[in-house]
Structure 1
């Protein structure tokens, strides 16, 4: 068993009962081909929660600081994470994300960039739209509906893939596509609260 699958099992055993995790819409995640899962961001626990509830392995971007120590770097790489420099355009991270998708993998993104302290869905950054228009990946919106409180139910809802044909045909801007993705995430939050 590889480290990703082992970690997924451990996280599931630890978090599912504590937060009474309920997962809806897993069937909306394509079983094969490139996929981008775009989720709202309310806690540091969001990446492991999305990772453990998705039936496919996910590659996540993680802040560059987590790769500064050799042991931590080795661990991050083995759990499918790759570094991104925050607050600037990071061409290496963009290239790596497109490479992940070109190999028919799943890329996990939190378009808001930082956690929402209020739990409300905030405006997304253009990065999610960039990957959506520059790849042929299917875009799956995801809503994490908290709060993360012990023995209170946490919902993870996967929506139907967003039709990207029109956006790609019209060469829509990355920001316009991200705005659409965030609207879909907001709808999931509102419909499943």
Structure 2
């Protein structure tokens, strides 16, 4: 058993009943091999954990660099497939790592807003999500985490249908435009299931 599998089963046993996690649209999440870019809104520090235990495949999350500098936690986060990204600047190493995750057929988890929403409302997405969507042939799956994060209150994780990307790749759409499209799909999921 890998550390990821062990950690996931422990976290699953604690978080799913505590937040009464309801997963919707799992049939929209491709369970076969192949790269998947999983894009979600970001309302709580626990989002990566909740999204991670809700998917049928392991997720490699881009996480803020500061997490990796915390003793013990940094090592655990790294063993759970996460890798660091410097916020507020173009981090070429993180971009390269993210592309490799997708090209190797894994799931890359992103929060396109780049930071947690203080209000709970969906913010503007950064161009990084569009960059990954355009530079690989990965399927792009929108995801919405719908709170509140309160003990024994229902918390929803909703997966939308993969976004059709082929025509956007062929017409060489901008990363900003593709990110806007991804964010609008996340917004639709929030509106529909809130």
- TM-score, structure 1 length as denominator? 0.97
CA separation in 2, counterparts of 1:159 and 1:96?
25
Q: Which residue of 2 aligns with 1:2?
A: 2
The correspondence of residues 107-122 of structure 1 with structure 2, limited to 5 A, is 107-122=108-123
CA separation in 1, counterparts of 2:69 and 2:18?
31
Q: Which residue of 1 aligns with 2:12?
A: 12
SS at match of 2:61: strand
Q: Does 1:141 align with 2:146?
A: no
- Quote the offset at 1:120 in angstroms: 1.1
Range moving further from structure 2, 142-151 or 59-68: 59-68
Q: Which residue of 1 aligns with 2:27?
A: 27
CA separation in 1, counterparts of 2:71 and 2:103?
28
SS at match of 1:43: coil
The correspondence of residues 40-79 of structure 1 with structure 2, limited to 5 A, is 40-68=41-69, 71-79=72-80
- Quote the offset at 1:62 in angstroms: 1.1
- Quote the offset at 1:69 in angstroms: 5.4
- Quote the offset at 1:117 in angstroms: 1.6
Gaps of 5+ in 2: none
Q: Which residue of 2 aligns with 1:158?
A: 159
Q: Which residue of 1 aligns with 2:89?
A: 88
CA separation in 1, counterparts of 2:124 and 2:65?
23
